[in-house]
């Protein structure tokens, strides 16, 4: 028998995890390298950000996932270099890892279009840490407003500004509006959280650009019903502590924001460029129909790090295509081992959906039937699909229970603020009345 082949998988997102599961049943040795010790179920991250779910409800330690797969190794480390001519990668810890096959699936990260200084002011949502930070900012805004209301009898407008009207932006906006109007309202005495304004700022002419026109319309209607303001066709030109600038020149407009979130742009993980093969404008690796970069059949690039075109359209960077690519890459390796011919990848598009708050969604269904759905029926479809796709049985139960608790019985998740108590820009908003440190402190009026 020939020596067993070693497959190295970089990134334990949807693509990497699916590939590893397929290869776990084959006569190969697999090493998964990831900077984190857990897989994150990204489609539900926004619910962690809005304190509906716990981080552990949507994250699963990678090791636990492969506990019974003795041919799968998990390495918590970071890739810092490739030598694709000599088939090895270099790791942050100093080690070098040789491979026969390499699957690169490190996904994407936020793109601030060259304005990386905006990242601290307007965090995006890609990781558990991001979600916990966004949660802290949103909850803290209400606490600080209550404090100022007691202290001064007034507080800055509770404007939540979301830059970017893709699915993540829409989901964040709906969820913030929900928690302000449904849950926070009961907890505060002096402010009215339901007066919070939630705004989506989208540079292109329409939100949810990937969706058909009728669903885009429905989405705007449903957002408006929740009180979310949708402003399209104007670009954000500056992000500052406490406000953003919309447009430029004489039409430029300042929009105050207690919390600004970024859902506007993504770029490929830097590993794409590090591979030293051809990439596109966003840093995605150009691969052929077999998911290989040019001249490297032993390397597969999967998920949203890959630029794959089918029928002249680029396959979207969502969970479905990522999982399918992961499975395909693993199957092609298996076919090599069996001396079978490789087959091209085809994306089986079942459709797309985005939730809008607690009981609405838009869904472009392609399989098992073609339909455009919106409102409550679409939301039910979203619910069923997302529960069934959660990483394991336990999370599925936990999440379902949590949702039933939150949505059906109107109870709420634990809204813990963990970490810093600073909210960038809060004081910026408070410029009506600059405190003179030598003046006597204002007496606290707590009249109701």
Q: Which residues contact 51 (CB under 8 A, 6 or more apart)?
A: 135, 139, 179, 412, 413, 414, 415, 416
What the block records as the tokens of 268 is: 């490929």
Q: Which residues contact 49 (CB under 8 A, 6 or more apart)?
A: 125, 130, 131, 132, 134, 135, 138, 172, 175
Name the CA dihedral angle for 102, 106, 107, 112, rounded to a multiple of 10 degrees: -140
CA–CA distance, 315 with 199 (Å, rounded to integer): 29
Residue 338, judged by CB atoms within 10 A of its CB (0-12, 13-18, 19+), counts as: exposed
Q: β-strand 197-202 against 228-232: which pairing, if any?
A: parallel
Nearest 5°: phi and psi at 44? -110, 10
Nearer to a copy of itself, 31 or 279 (CB): 31
Q: How far is the CB of 270 from a copy of itself (least distance, A)?
A: 17
Name the CA dihedral angle for 168, 170, 176, 178, rounded to a multiple of 10 degrees: -130
Instruction: List interacting residues with a copy of itself (CB under 8 A).
Output: 6, 29, 31, 35-38, 54-56, 59-61, 63-64, 67, 70, 73-77, 90-91, 93-98, 128-129, 132, 139, 143-144, 146-148, 150-151, 186-190, 394, 405, 411-419, 421, 435, 440-444, 446, 448
Q: Which residues contact 101 (CB under 8 A, 6 or more apart)?
A: 5, 6, 7, 8, 28, 298, 299, 300, 333, 336
For the chain, report the end-to-end CA distance as a whole number of angstroms: 82
Annotated catalytic residue within 171, 221, 229, 443: 171
Q: β-strand 313-314 against 309-310: which pairing, if any?
A: antiparallel
Please say if 221 is a catalytic residue.
no
Task: Cite the active site residues.
Answer: 171
């Amino acid at each position: 028998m020939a020596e067993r082949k070693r497959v190295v998988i970089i990134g334990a997102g949807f693509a990497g995890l699916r590939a590893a599961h397929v290869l776990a049943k084959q006569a190969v040795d697999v090493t998964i390298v990831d900077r984190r010790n857990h897989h994150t179920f990204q489609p539900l991250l926004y619910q962690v950000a809005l304190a509906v779910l716990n981080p552990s409800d949507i994250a699963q330690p990678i090791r636990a996932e492969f506990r019974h797969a003795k041919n799968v190794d998990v390495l918590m480390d970071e890739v810092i270099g490739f030598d694709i001519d000599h088939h090895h990668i270099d790791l942050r810890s100093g080690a070098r890892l040789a491979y026969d096959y390499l699957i690169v699936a490190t996904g994407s990260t936020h793109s601030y279009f060259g304005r990386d200084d905006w990242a601290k002011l307007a965090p995006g949502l890609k990781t558990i840490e991001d979600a916990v930070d966004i949660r802290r900012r949103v909850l803290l805004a209400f606490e600080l407003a209550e404090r100022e209301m007691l202290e001064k009898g007034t507080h800055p407008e509770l404007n939540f500004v979301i830059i970017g009207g893709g699915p993540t932006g829409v989901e964040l906006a709906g969820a913030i509006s929900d928690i302000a109007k449904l849950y926070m309202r009961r907890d505060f005495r002096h402010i009215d959280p339901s007066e919070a304004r939630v705004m989506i700022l989208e540079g292109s002419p329409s939100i949810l650009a990937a969706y058909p026109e009728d669903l885009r319309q429905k989405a705007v209607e449903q957002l408006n019903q929740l009180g979310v303001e949708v402003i399209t066709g104007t670009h954000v030109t500056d992000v500052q502590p406490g406000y953003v600038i919309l447009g430029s020149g004489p039409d430029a407009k300042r929009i105050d924001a207690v919390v600004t979130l970024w859902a506007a742009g993504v770029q490929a993980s830097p590993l794409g460029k590090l591979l030293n093969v051809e990439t596109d404008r966003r840093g995605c690796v150009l691969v052929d129909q077999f998911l290989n970069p040019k001249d490297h059949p032993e390397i597969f690039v999967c998920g949203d790090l890959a630029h794959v075109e089918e029928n002249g359209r680029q396959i979207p960077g969502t969970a479905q295509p990522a999982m399918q690519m992961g499975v395909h890459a693993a199957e092609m390796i298996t076919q090599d081992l069996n001396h079978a011919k490789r087959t091209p990848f085809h994306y089986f598009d079942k459709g797309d959906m985005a939730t809008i708050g607690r009981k609405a969604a838009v869904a472009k269904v392609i399989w098992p039937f073609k339909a455009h759905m919106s409102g409550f029926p679409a939301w039910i479809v979203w619910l069923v699909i997302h529960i069934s796709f959660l990483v394991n049985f336990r999370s599925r139960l936990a999440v379902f229970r949590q949702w039933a608790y939150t949505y059906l019985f109107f109870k709420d998740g634990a809204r813990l603020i963990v970490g810093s108590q600073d909210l960038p820009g809060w004081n910026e908003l408070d410029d009506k009345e600059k405190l003179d440190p030598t003046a006597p402190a204002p007496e606290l009026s707590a009249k109701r």
